[in-house]
Structure 1
Amino acid sequence: MAGKLTAAQGTGILLVTANVGSLFEDPDNLQKTWLREFYQTVQTHRPHFLAVHCQEVGGKNYEASMSHVDSFVKELLSSDAMKEYSRARVYLDENYKSQEHFTALGSFYFIHESLKNIHQFDFKAKKFKKVVGKETYSETLESTPTLEKEKFPQDYFPECKWSRKGFIRTRWALPDCSFDLVNIHLFHDASNLVAWEKSPSVYSGTRQKALGYVLDRITDQRYEKLPFYLFGDFNFRLDSKQVIETLCSAATMQTVRAADTNEVDKLIFRESDNDRKVVLQLEKKMFSYVNQDVFRENNGTSLLEYDKELSVFKDRLHELEISFPPSYPYSEDSSQGKQYMNTRCPAWCDRILLSSSARDLVLKPENEEKSIVYDNIGPNVCMGDHKPVFLSFRITAGAGKPNANKHKCCVVQ
């Protein structure tokens, strides 16, 4: 990195969320590209404090992919691009044999050598301790005192027997302020046909319940309330019924039922004229729309009116303006960087959300607008089925000073 990075202008923060499941299915092709784009983002924004929240670490075939996870972590910790980050904490939920606890979440934190006095909260001892050196924790996250981890109760999503959805929370104290960082993975849409049945969909309700549960946990009375940044794969989807009715407004619908069960197998929407051309074919795991450009033109932002799942939490959670295309589901073909798969309606699944007090830290009046960037990583290359999403900003010197003293940020344990 050119030039000396100092914290005189405040503390540069870079938050990244990345569902990395694809990387472990095809490590030879995807991992190199993914890391190159990630390092490029780090070099562009040059944060003092970098947090990367990963979901689906190890991919679908977790047992077979474990060695790939280890090499991915080693590469991140030892790479030339990250050599100025002298302290690191890595938390990997690798204990896939423990079905009642396993979340496949991975949280990575890197601290630049120029940033002094960084402390991390010990939830058992209820105090901040100075962060020194590089440490990796896996297998036994349940007993690791510097984090809180929970998997959602099984009855939240009964149709998915081995759901790995949950969250991990860590708490940090910089010289100027303290905050919580929460890695989260919410439930997906199991079937496009079910998702389209009503507005909002049944899956939207499940995610709402789980997100409410997390918010209640991280703001309860056990610990002092701090600003928090909640970033991960929320699996938020566009309102299927409304999107399909808009995209297929001039089409007629044909229902195809399974011969043996008489259940709806697929829906085919055709143009009334024009040789009855198929506009959309919808199946449990197929969303094949005739014109993908609608999701890319102007970054797909005309569809944001159907992105409604966050509105339920508008008093508790905030987000900067989205100006990047839907982050999922991209083709996993390494030559198709901008193409979506015909499996789901593209949606902004990967997000960075802020509490009111966290938003105030980002949007301080003295913070120049251009120093705040909310965007995706690797827009033109294949990063797997999810594009990582990042938020870069500065916490100005003294921004949370009353806070900082109150939270004993600078007490070295």
Structure 2
Amino acid sequence: MASESLPSVMLITANVGSIFEDPETMLQGWLHKFYESVQTLKPQLIAVHMQEVGGKDFEQCMGNVDAFVQSLIDSEALKSFDRSLVFLDKDFALVDQFTALGNLYFVHESLQNVQLYDFKTCRFNTIQGKQFVNLINKKTIYEKAKFPQNFFPGTVWSRKGFLRTRWNVENRIFDLANIHLFHDASNMVAMETFPSPYCKYRKRALEHVLQRFSKDKHDNVPLFLFGDFNFRLDSQGVIQTLVAEATPEYTKEDKEVTRITYKDCDGSSKVILILEKKRFEIDDPDRLIGENAKWLLPFDKEMKCFTNQLYEYDRDFPPSYPYSEDVTDGRSYMKTRVPAWCDRILLSKAAKALVKEDLYNKAMYSVIGQEVCMGDHKPIFLSFRLAPTQGMPVNHKRSPALTPYYKVSGALVYYPLIYRETSV
């Protein structure tokens, strides 16, 4: 099968917490770079998973969200995408349910066979038109959950959870799941040991999601899991490398260390690093920018617990967080946290088998807007073509008459035998 006939896909994860607070400048710059990427890569299916929809000050900025989405739908760059589905969790009054997640899907007119799964009827329905899905109405074409507060004890119950949809694209079935895990509340706590308490909270939540997906009543299908995992580096290791033999000076308040100042031990008293709860300021910030940041990769360890279940393409881009929110500066990091690859696109082993890779087809894993301000998180994308459907039938949880599948290099794909088709 010619590569050009294989569906092209672009997955994007974007924590948009900053852009809604500056709709005139930062948001417009974000849109420009998004359109530019779409026009360059020419995908047929675009999946955008957003976190912190409405911004950090969501009660004040949530009103900007609908205009943002409508500008995407009406844009020249997406004019050939005749179907779209928008899932927005923006009702912040529902404290026990609010996740601030948003899943946006755009389907090109050249893709003819695209259906969405109904988690209640366990059947696929044909997608038609351009639709906003109100998550308050509890439709069954998505699955959403907020993590319980006991998953991150001792902190405020925050907007963290997942939002999953299931797709049949040209006879290939897979899940697209958005996820937002817990952040590091304090640099001081994070640097004490690795794994930090925050790492353990994230590990528990991600294990919970993977187990839930694998043990529910629905068939196990390839999973593309992308969002803000908030994975952080081994802060202790990074700091030890930065300060070397520097002398630490401790500042205390009420017998608690609130600041550590590392000074050069050569007698010059030059400050190398200042560390506070929400401050991480080094004397040479260029060590963390662009190509210079590659030395941080060995300290990126949180994903190692999941390498038997999830795959990630090599990262040739700098840490995606925390970038400056100065609209004139797209390269510098804020002096708040150890830079980290928080924003990731992960694949189950079966999903990896759905990615076409050969001499002429390579997946592209990179960043959008590397040189311009995109907020405190850079959007990350994975662009690829779906592998052709070939193989033999495999077992599944329910009746073959309802969900006929066959196997392609370890992945499940849809085989159109007998099923009921309706419209979403």
Q: TM-score, normalization: structure 2?
A: 0.92
Unaligned runs of 5+ in 2: 392-404, 407-411
Q: Deviation per CA, 1:349-393, whole angstroms, max 9, x where unpaired?
A: 00000000111112x454634x31100000000000000000000
For 2:178 and 2:9, the matched residues in 1 are separated by 16
Equivalent residue for 1:13?
A: 9
- Could you tell me whether the CA contact under 8 Å between 1:372 and 1:393 is conserved in 2? yes
For 1:368 and 1:136, the matched residues in 2 are separated by 37
Aligned partner of 2:343: which letter?
Answer: D
For 1:326 and 1:249, the matched residues in 2 are separated by 22
Cα RMSD after superposing both structures: 1.8
For 2:47 and 2:292, the matched residues in 1 are separated by 26
Shift of 1:92: 0.2
Equivalent residue for 1:188?
A: 183
Shift of 1:405: 4.0
- Could you tell me whether the CA contact under 8 Å between 1:157 and 1:163 is conserved in 2? no
Equivalent residue for 2:270?
A: 277
Equivalent residue for 1:328?
A: 321
In the alignment, structure 1 residue 313 sits paired with structure 2 residue 306 = yes
Counterpart mapping for 1:2-401 below 5 A: 8-140=4-136, 143-258=138-253, 261-273=254-266, 275-298=268-291, 300-362=293-355, 364-366=356-358, 368-369=360-361, 371-398=362-389
For 2:282 and 2:148, the matched residues in 1 are separated by 35
Shift of 1:298: 1.9
SS of 1:13's equivalent?
strand
- Could you tell me whether the CA contact under 8 Å between 2:194 and 2:236 is conserved in 1? yes
- Could you tell me whether the CA contact under 8 Å between 2:324 and 2:375 is conserved in 1? yes
Shift of 1:252: 1.1
Aligned partner of 1:380: which letter?
Answer: E
- Could you tell me whether the CA contact under 8 Å between 1:9 and 1:397 is conserved in 2? no
For 1:407 and 1:21, the matched residues in 2 are separated by 41
Unaligned runs of 5+ in 1: 1-5
Shift of 1:296: 2.0
SS of 1:181's equivalent?
strand
Quickly say closer, same or farther: Cα 1:405–1:291, change in 2 above 3 A: same
- Could you tell me whether the CA contact under 8 Å between 1:233 and 1:350 is conserved in 2? yes
Quickly say closer, same or farther: Cα 1:273–1:366, change in 2 above 3 A: closer
SS of 1:85's equivalent?
coil
Aligned partner of 2:335: which letter?
Answer: N
For 1:409 and 1:399, the matched residues in 2 are separated by 19
Shift of 1:221: 3.6
Shift of 1:275: 1.2
For 2:334 and 2:417, the matched residues in 1 are separated by 49
- Could you tell me whether the CA contact under 8 Å between 1:299 and 1:323 is conserved in 2? no
SS of 1:275's equivalent?
coil
Aligned partner of 1:57: which letter?
Answer: V
Q: TM-score, normalization: structure 1?
A: 0.94
Q: Deviation per CA, 1:261-296, whole angstroms, max 9, x where unpaired?
A: 211111111110151111110000000011122222
Question: Which protein has the bigger helix share?
Answer: 1
Aligned partner of 2:389: which letter?
Answer: G
Shift of 1:160: 2.6
SS of 2:303's equivalent?
helix
Q: How many residues end up aligned between the 2 structures?
A: 403
Aligned partner of 1:387: which letter?
Answer: K
Quickly say closer, same or farther: Cα 1:349–1:64, change in 2 above 3 A: same
For 1:165 and 1:149, the matched residues in 2 are separated by 11
Quickly say closer, same or farther: Cα 1:367–1:9, change in 2 above 3 A: farther
SS of 1:28's equivalent?
coil
SS of 1:169's equivalent?
strand
